């Protein structure tokens, strides 16, 4: 096979591929192939936790959220029926902030950044094949914007083709589950008491999230549980409108009705997928093609950026033309990444299940409302700035055990609460503790 002019080929200029390429040293020649370079209009990846902002800063890429009318996010307001309370990121750590943004605008910023780097070629093309020779990944075949089929080779191919990845099975044993769907709209002209907070609405059977994405727009994500996508017909929309209006805070209802009439209701599956990569020379997975968790905590981009930092660390001094050393570096990335993403994954998958269990949801709401460390402790994990798994588990069990006296006064109810909590966390922990490389 002919020699390559590139050190790295990246499949997909989304959140993972784009930021990975932008974070590389200028002495590496990189080809980024993106299927569609027009600005997408998506409901995913719009709330960046403070941990994500810290990771961007660590890569000198914090400016990627500038000039897109992104909105500061200072914490959360939790709402259940008539009750509500707030928790601010500043209670966790001074000066940490999240940011709400339009995903498409963020991607445009990322792609504009790539164009500024002389060592990066960003091209529009649909990757159709990963080329292998003797079990080593050598590069890709893609169809360019003119329909021409082109082959490109490089010592390393970074697969970042997103949640619906078609290439992940070449490099991993994907076991993908759909836990629910998010139905998304943009709410405009909302007059909220705390415009800079994410709102977690726990009044119905399933959570609803509302957070700012520009100076005058909020994303609403409404969870639809189960593996089957919701039906979007005239009758079901009427019922949906009625059901959601009944649980939304009054100040959001008019804007929700207007969005239902004027905006396109977008639906996305919410996956969970454990990272289970193969040992494979010449290729590596990043982002949702490697690992997914429920988006209820808005942790996906933070986890992805933490992975990029781990991969960059592993690749830092590697000679890309030494295939064995490159493979060792990739293995080291898979082996070490979990400490920086496991709390994000565990919390996301566990919290979604807690919110789907009435008793645990009530217990969680009561616990977080107590203030002090019971509020900011769990928020520090959700924000992605605290990655201490033991600390996460301590709070998780404290939620279920906050009234030990109930083992005597309400033994049946308390035992069920405890059993439900264990039933949720045990399989998630077991799954998360399995190595990321098989």
Which residues would be at the binding site for ligand FAD (CB under 6 A)?
11-17, 33-36, 43-48, 52, 126-127, 160-163, 182, 268, 270, 287-289, 295, 298-302, 304
Residue closer to ligand FAD by CB (options 16, 346) is: 16
Least CB distance to ligand FAD at residue 12 (A): 3
Least CB distance to ligand FAD at residue 50 (A): 11
Strand pairing of 75-80 and 47-48?
A: unpaired
**Residue 98 belongs to what H/E stretch?**
strand 98-100
Residue closer to ligand FAD by CB (options 74, 420) is: 74
| Nearest CA-CA partner of 199 in 143, 279, 124, 256 | 256
Q: What are the structure tokens assigned to 166, written together?
A: 């078609």
**Residue 224 belongs to what H/E stretch?**
strand 217-225
Residue closer to ligand FAD by CB (options 161, 340) is: 161
Q: How far apart are CA 376 and CA 387, in angstroms?
A: 14
Residue closer to ligand FAD by CB (options 13, 314) is: 13
Residue closer to ligand FAD by CB (options 36, 251) is: 36
DSSP, res 237: H
Q: How far apart are CA 50 and CA 15, in angstroms?
A: 16
3-state secondary structure of 67: coil
Least CB distance to ligand FAD at residue 36 (A): 5
Least CB distance to ligand FAD at residue 362 (A): 25
Least CB distance to ligand FAD at residue 130 (A): 10
Q: How far apart are CA 248 and CA 155, in angstroms?
A: 52
Q: How far is CA 224 from CA 11, 102, 206, 269, in A?
A: 31, 22, 7, 9
CB crowding 347-376: b at 16 or more within 10 Å, else e: bbbbbbbbbbbeebbebbbebbbeeeebbb
Least CB distance to ligand FAD at residue 272 (A): 11
Least CB distance to ligand FAD at residue 335 (A): 21
Q: How far apart are CA 356 and CA 204, in angstroms?
A: 9
Residue closer to ligand FAD by CB (options 76, 182) is: 182
Residue closer to ligand FAD by CB (options 299, 377) is: 299
Q: How far apart are CA 112 and CA 141, in angstroms?
A: 24
Strand pairing of 217-225 and 176-188?
A: antiparallel
Residue closer to ligand FAD by CB (options 11, 315) is: 11
Least CB distance to ligand FAD at residue 291 (A): 9
Q: How far apart are CA 342 and CA 8, in angstroms?
A: 27
Residue closer to ligand FAD by CB (options 85, 224) is: 224
Instruction: Quickly count: other Cβ atoms within 10 Å of residue 118's Cβ.
Output: 7
Least CB distance to ligand FAD at residue 124 (A): 9
């Amino acid at each position: 096979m002919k020699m390559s002019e590139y050190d790295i080929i990246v499949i997909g200029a989304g959140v993972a591929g784009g930021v990975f390429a932008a974070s590389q040293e200028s002495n590496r020649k990189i080809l980024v192939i993106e299927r569609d370079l027009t600005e997408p209009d998506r409901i995913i990846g719009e709330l960046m936790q403070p941990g994500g902002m810290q990771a961007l800063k660590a890569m000198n890429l914090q400016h990627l959220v500038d000039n897109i009318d992104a909105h500061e996010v200072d914490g959360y307001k939790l709402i259940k029926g008539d009750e509500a309370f707030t928790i601010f990121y500043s209670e966790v750590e001074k000066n940490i902030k999240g940011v709400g943004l339009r995903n498409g605008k963020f991607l445009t910023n990322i792609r504009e950044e790539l164009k500024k780097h002389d060592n990066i070629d960003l091209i529009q093309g649909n990757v159709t094949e990963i080329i292998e020779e003797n079990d080593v990944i050598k590069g890709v075949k893609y169809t360019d914007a003119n329909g021409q089929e082109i082959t490109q080779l490089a010592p390393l191919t970074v697969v970042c083709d997103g949640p619906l990845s078609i290439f992940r099975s070449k490099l991993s044993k994907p076991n993908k589950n759909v836990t629910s769907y998010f139905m998304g709209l943009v709410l405009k002209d909302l007059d909220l008491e705390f415009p800079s907070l994410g709102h977690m609405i726990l009044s119905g059977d399933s959570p609803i999230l509302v957070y700012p994405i520009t100076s005058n727009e909020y994303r609403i994500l409404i969870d639809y549980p189960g593996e089957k996508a919701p039906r979007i017909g005239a009758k079901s929309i009427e019922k949906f409108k009625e059901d959601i209006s009944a649980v939304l805070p009054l100040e959001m209802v008019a804007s929700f009705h207007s969005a239902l009439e004027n905006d396109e209701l977008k639906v996305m599956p919410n996956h969970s997928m454990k990272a289970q990569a193969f040992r494979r020379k010449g290729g590596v997975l990043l982002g949702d093609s490697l690992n997914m968790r429920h988006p209820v905590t808005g942790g996906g981009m933070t986890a992805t950026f933490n992975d990029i930092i781990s991969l960059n660390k592993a690749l830092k001094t590697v000679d890309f033309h030494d295939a064995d050393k490159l493979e060792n570096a990739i293995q080291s990335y898979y082996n070490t990444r979990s400490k920086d993403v496991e709390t994000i994954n565990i919390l996301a998958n566990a919290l979604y299940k807690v919110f789907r269990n009435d008793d645990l949801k009530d217990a969680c709401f009561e616990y977080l409302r107590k203030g002090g460390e019971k509020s900011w402790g769990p928020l520090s994990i959700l924000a992605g700035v605290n990655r201490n798994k033991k600390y996460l588990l301590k709070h998780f069990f404290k939620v279920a055990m906050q009234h030990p006296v109930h083992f005597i006064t309400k033994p049946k109810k308390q035992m069920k609460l405890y059993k439900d909590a264990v039933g949720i966390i045990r399989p998630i922990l077991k799954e998360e503790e399995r190595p990321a490389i098989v």
